[in-house]
Copies of this chain bind each other. A is one copy, B any other.
Amino acid sequence: MRGAGPGSPAALRQMNQAHVLAAVRRADLLRLGEIAELTGLSRPTVVAALDELCEAGWVSFCDDGPPGRQRVGRPARVVRFRAEAGFVVGIDVGAHTTEVVVADLDGVPVASARQSTTGAHDRTQLLGVIRATVHDALTRSGIPRNHVMSVAVGSPGIVNLDERTIVQAPSLPGWASINLAKELRSSFRAPVLVENDVNLAVLAECWRGAAATTRDVVFVLWGERVGAGIVIDGRLHRGSAGAAGEVGYLNVLETAGGDAVADDDGLGPFERAVGSRAIVAMARAEASRPRGRTSRIAAAGPELDALEVFRASEAGDRAARRVVDAVIARFARGLAPLLLVLDPDMVVIGGRLAGAGDAMFEALRASVRRLCLVAPQIERSMLGEDAVAIGAVRLALSDVEERVLPRLDSASLPRRAATTRAEGRARAEAPA
């Protein structure tokens, strides 16, 4: 066989290393024999792979069993993945808040920070808020910037992955056509990935949320905006132009203005029909009628929130109930096409309005069942407001897994994290 072809010694060694690392990452702690069993590799092959992995700083050896316990004889040595070998940063840029999460290579958050973005009126101010929040989170984590291996940012709007620009983002001022990766690259030595926020939310729910055991999932963000993130067969479906799941532009009301055009507030037809602004407007209209005057929503001040309308309905307020019934019927009519097209295993509802009570979910399930051939499970988001930032952490981890881990060269690890060559070899040669 040739030097670099499939099955060559170099390719085999790298493949074996990747197998060993994958086995160690999946389990918490592994003995040498367990690694051999899991990978199907011989003990000498495992030892050789661990030697190089340890040298590069990806794994370390420690003694078996709980610490401080009395043991007889030499303790068995176990291998663990060094999740602290590097870090990733996940960023959620929203119209109201920016959130930053710093996590280790197991995806465990080590620090986070939040700042309001409502005061940011242009892209310079918004970028300023993002940079300050990143600084804040990194300071809290105590991790130097050069230990960050990958950064992912979730943003509203359609993201063009080729040009790394945000094509349409009506909800953020001055955000359209920004090259966010380029703007933030100067803050890190690591690559910066940009993705649509709802796409990240569905990745998060599939990773550590409501859909953790599900292959085909639709996440529907329901707040001022409405959008869907789609995972098919465990993988994000972005669409030809990154516009898959843009259901905010569905026309569910047979009215003029069904064209896919955003209004002055940047909202599409479905958002204008069921988004939180629409709900507040419907509630005000209902409260101004004679039959609605005694309603709780009539008593609410100018700061009426859409979620309050759901809560009033749950508390028995009739006017609120009429609004909620109409909203759920409309929302089901928007979900129906998603479900008829995709037939997913599960729909996860997230965003602010997923904070409504179980009664809303029950009513929604009943409405959807009438409109679809096969009714999927409909669940509430488990990650709430953190879904996008957690999804960004997941995307950054995937980037590390695809870009760095298969190469496994020590150059890609920060100096502090790598153990010395001699130390690594000594450990690998003295397995349990």
Contacts and interface: CB of A to CB of B under 8 A. Distances in A.
Interface of A: 1-2, 4-8, 12, 15-16, 19, 39-42, 45, 158, 168, 216, 228, 230, 232-233, 235, 237-247, 249-251, 253-254, 258-260, 333, 336-338, 340-345, 370-374, 376
27 contacts: A5-B41, A6-B41, A8-B40, A168-B373, A216-B240, A230-B341, A232-B232, A237-B342, A239-B342, A239-B374, A240-B374, A243-B343, A244-B341, A245-B343, A246-B340, A247-B340, A253-B254, A258-B333, A258-B371, A259-B370, A259-B371, A260-B336, A260-B371, A337-B337, A337-B338, A337-B340, A338-B341
B341 A240 contact: no
**Oligomer: number of copies:** 2
A343 B42 contact: no
B41 A340 contact: no
Contacts of A237: 232-233, 342
B376 A240 contact: yes
Ranked nearest first, the 9 interchain pairs of A and B with the lowest CB-CB distance are: A239-B343, A5-B40, A337-B337, A254-B254, A244-B343, A243-B343, A241-B374, A240-B345, A243-B374
Contact of A7 (B16, B239, B253, B376): B16
B2 A246 contact: no
B7 A41 contact: yes
Contacts of A249: 340, 371-373
Contacts of A232: 232, 237
Given A6-B39, A7-B41, 13 more contacts: A1-B42, A1-B45, A6-B19, A168-B373, A239-B343, A241-B373, A243-B343, A246-B343, A251-B333, A258-B371, A337-B338, A337-B341, A341-B342
B371 A341 contact: no
Contacts of A41: 1-2, 5-7
Nearest to A237: B232
Contacts of A228: 341
Contacts of A247: 337, 340-341
A209 B254 CA distance: 36
A9 to B, nearest CB: 11
B344 A239 contact: yes
Contact of A250 (B16, B19, B216, B336): B336
A240 B344 contact: yes
A216 B239 contact: yes
A292 to B, nearest CB: 25
A12 to B, nearest CB: 6
Contacts of A241: 343, 373-374
A338 B250 CA distance: 10
A127 to B, nearest CB: 26
Contacts of A42: 1-2
A246 B336 CA distance: 11
A286 B342 CA distance: 36
A228 B41 CA distance: 46
Contacts of A243: 340, 343, 373-374
B1 A7 contact: no
A343 B229 CA distance: 12
Contacts of A345: 240
Contact of A260 (B5, B15, B250, B372): B372
Given A7-B16, A41-B2, A373 B260 contact: yes
